[in-house]
Amino acid sequence: MLVKNLAILALAAVAVDARKANLRRGKDGRVCKVRPTPDAQPAPEPAPTPVDEQKDADHYGHGHHDDAKPSQVETSSAVAAPSSAPEPEHHDDQQQQEQSPPPSEAYVAPPEESHKPAPEEEKPAPEEKPAPEDNGNNNGGSGGEEFHGRATYYDVFVAKQNHGSTSGIGACQTQLSEDGPFVALNDGQFDADKPCGRSVVITDKSNGKTVTATVQDRCAGCGWGNLDLTKGLFEQLHGGLGVTDITWHWA
């Protein structure tokens, strides 16, 4: 029985020495457990029997409790926390979203109000005026307008025929002659056209002859469109003295 107890005590002492060998003290005096290297792992300790545990407790029961029990210590080697991956920067995207103007809504033009103009009042058609009858006394004018009238002759040196003058000077204050190509224009057209010195082309309706003359006098009392010719010019146009129907226009 004694031998058996000694054997048990020897095994317990070997186990205690093995536990102490696995413990070391750090620089701060704390007892740290030595981590076994992967290559050399200590063999697992045999599990003590209940008898051995009782004996071990009896052996270390008084005055050796602190030395016998290995203290649980924290390992000095701190496991480095994995560095957190940098979060993706969303600053540029957020700033771009802030700077981007909100999408503008499409402009929809308001519907145009259909406006119909008020119907124009129908104006009465102007009444057509009848054309003036050709009575040989057409109104005067200039250019290519043709006038109808009568041609007479007078003596430029007879006072009764030449405004009381016997000198042969007409209303345009020019010297006239009996056979010169001169005419006296009727009062109405003379006052309207101021024709002194203007040329006229005269056609005799009875024979179709045409002559050209110059207005140098006025025919007092002659109707519109009528001409008073010198004796020589009238004979050239009509072939004798008298009165004849004519047409004439400004040259």
Higher pLDDT, 149 or 65: 149
pLDDT of 22-54, one tens digit each?
555 444 555 455 455 545 455 555 555 544 444
In 3D space, the residue among 76, 78, 68 whose CA is nearest the CA of residue 33 turns out to be 76
CB 48 within 8 A of CB 42: no
Q: How confident is the model at residue 8 (pLDDT cuts 50, 70, 90)?
A: confident
**Region 146-250: CATH code:** 2.40.40.10
Higher pLDDT, 64 or 244: 244
Share of the chain above pLDDT 70, in %: 48
Other Cβ atoms within 10 Å of 190 Cβ, number: 21
* 96-100, 188-192, 216-220, 232-236: least confidently modelled range: 96-100
- The conformational region for residue 55 under phi > 0 = left, psi -120 to 50 = alpha, else beta, is alpha
Kindly tell me if the per-residue pLDDT of 111 is higher than 80. no
Per the prediction, the chain carries an average pLDDT of 71
Higher pLDDT, 199 or 59: 199
Q: Residues 6 or more apart from 172 whose CB is under 8 A from it?
A: 196, 197, 215, 216, 217
User: How much is the pLDDT for 217?
Assistant: 95
User: How much is the pLDDT for 176?
Assistant: 92
- Domain ranges in the chain are 2-68, 146-250
Kindly tell me if the per-residue pLDDT of 90 is higher than 60. no
Distance CA 222, CA 211 (A): 20
User: How much is the pLDDT for 77?
Assistant: 41
Please give the model's pTM, rounded to 2 decimal places: 0.44
- What is the mean predicted confidence (pLDDT) over 80-100? 51
